[in-house]
Amino acid sequence: MTGAAETPKRPRQVDPWAVASLALGVLLLLDVQRVFLPSLITIFGRAAETPAEQLGLFALLWFLLPFAIVPFGSRIGFGRIAFGGAVLLALIRVALQATDGGQPQLLLAAAGTTAGLLWLYGCAHTLPRRAVPVGLIGGLTLSTLVHVALGTVDFVWRDGVLPWVGSVALVLAFLVVVRLTPREQDEPASSAAWFLAGPVLLVNGVFSGVFAHTSPVSAHPLLGNGPLLVALFLIGHLAAVVAARYGANRAVAFFVVYGVFGFFSPSALFAVLMAVGLAGCLAVTAGAAAKGRQGLALLLGMVVFVLATFGYYAAYDLGYPNQWIPAVVAAVILGIALRKGSPEPQESLPRATVVRGVAVVVAVALLVTAATWPAAVERKTSNGDSLKLIAYNIRMGFGLDGTLALDRIAEWARDQQPDVVLLSEVDRGWMLNGGHDGVARLAERMGMRHYFAPAADPLWGDAILTNLPVTELTSRRLDSYGAPTGAQVQSATVEVGRHKVTIVNTHLQAPAEQARDVARLTAGLAEKGPVILAGDMNVEPGEKPFEDLIRSGLVDGLAAVRPLPTSPADNPAQQIDHVFVTAGLKVESAQAPRLRYSDHLPVMVTVRMNG
């Protein structure tokens, strides 16, 4: 029949089950990655000791294993592969909840990585393209929400009934939505969009998922604490849903601005642009024409993720600049979005739906902000003449068994009722270490104020925790003298009764040269009043760097109890963690409790003011 008006096609809606299954699966995969990556450097080997290439090759193996299924994908059935990978990922995630570290934790997390990639491989061939950007960014959003709500210590690291309930609930929800998700090749997303999944995970993990970049030294870092992190990721999620309405140009413009300013001036604006930019680039790329081999593209993108991850973090052991790595990956994302992006405005959501979405984002952001806002910590005054101090290299909070021990460290330290706690090897969200904000977590659990000092980069260094009044606070970078890992020296002048004492915290990486610099700095501070210098010095008593510190006027505060080995924690043989004091101070007691919460033992001293 001719001449009859054609009924306009109704735009296809985003399949909610497909979105939910992809989002929950990404959450579980990121949960597994937060176990797998730190297990590599605490169980398979040791960071700064095991060759970085050996660690990287072991990790790469588990990302390469899924390629074995590529020649048989269509024969087996992509739906079966997706379902089988989902079930295996779910079972491994539950098994991880029951492990107590060691080799079982490492191998389960490694196998869980492979299972998650098999699931994604099947999804790449079966999920409709409209669900892909929303599900991927939604998974990052959901993972971030849960991670922040749990104080960056995930269920998998917790004991007790409630973590089990939470983990099993997430796994069951994932399996239910996977079962309800239609498995049909209805306009699959482009290969380019699936390839971007890996690079997006890398840029998210290194930068946009870590808001401590914006205020790394503040005692109460609003952005580093997490509330706005969740809010901005929700905004990024919403941007992915509506990006098609505004087209590739605007989505790409967001990312261009981020690329120009973000790496040079990290800020809240940088974080907003990052979240919106990643979501927008995924959305417009998913709309491009699908030409097959989506699963292979997904696996190749994940190889980019693991190679870039180890290329970035190995720099802290091998000593080369690493800022260019996420910049290049970001440029790849941008280039693919520019070349392959194809917006589909006819499929955008109605304006009313967008408005309701914005309202939900604002409401959730306010709720999360209220729930995670840091509690006020009262300043502590001391009327006595003594000070209890703990100096502890915590190895990012991972014990000898490879499990996260931040809460156990906090519980032990809180029971000692210290006035000052000095931390070494503490980070504020390194993806390689599981994304934990160790400083904020320990301070919150111990009820103390924290003062972070960047060393290797803005997220890794040392910290002072105290509730005593602090009148002066400084942090100075030390010359590296060729050592790949950066070092700093942090000082805080605190009031102890009627006395003022300057506490100096450091972790030497090139002790032969850096000890001289610290000695000169401490001598200058001692001209104004008494000084306590403590930390991991990486030098034994009697060695030249140790003697340089003594000749500067410092007194070995542990002399009366030597030998006092502190490393390694399971069989202490090296005396490399020290406490020094200047005239006017006396160490009354000193010990190194036999704890297994790190590869070092803590040093605990009581110092008396002699006038």
Per-residue model confidence as pLDDT tens digits over 481-509: 989 889 999 999 999 988 899 999 999 99
CA pair distance 318, 480, nearest whole angstrom:
13
The pLDDT of residue 248 is 55
Whether residue 263 is predicted with pLDDT greater than 90 in this model: the reply is no
Residue type, 368: V
The pLDDT of residue 413 is 97
The pLDDT of residue 2 is 45
Q: Which CATH class is domain 386-609?
A: alpha beta
CA pair distance 36, 606, nearest whole angstrom:
39
Average of pLDDT values for 78-86?
Answer: 95
CA pair distance 490, 506, nearest whole angstrom:
6
Where, residue-wise, is CATH 1.20.1250.20 in the chain? 16-372
pLDDT grade, residue 146 (50/70/90)? confident
Lowest-confidence pick of 185-199, 433-447, 458-472, 496-510: 185-199
Where, residue-wise, is CATH 3.60.10.10 in the chain? 386-609
Per-residue model confidence as pLDDT tens digits over 326-365: 888 988 888 888 787 765 544 455 566 666 766 766 676 6
For 102, what's the count of Cα atoms within 13 Å in the CB-facing half-sphere?
4
Q: Are strands 420-427 and 460-466 parallel, antiparallel or unpaired?
A: antiparallel
For residue 325, give the 3-state DSSP assignment: helix
16-372 folds as Growth Hormone; Chain: A; (1.20.1250)
pLDDT grade, residue 7 (50/70/90)? very low
* Mean residue pLDDT across the chain: 85
pLDDT above 70: percentage of residues in the chain: 79
Per-residue model confidence as pLDDT tens digits over 403-432: 999 999 999 999 999 999 999 999 888 999
- The answer to whether 299 and 70 are in contact (CB under 8 A) is yes
The pLDDT of residue 416 is 96
Whether residue 378 is predicted with pLDDT greater than 80 in this model: the reply is no
Average of pLDDT values for 53-58?
Answer: 92
Q: Which of the pair, 115 or 52, is modelled with greater confidence? A: 115
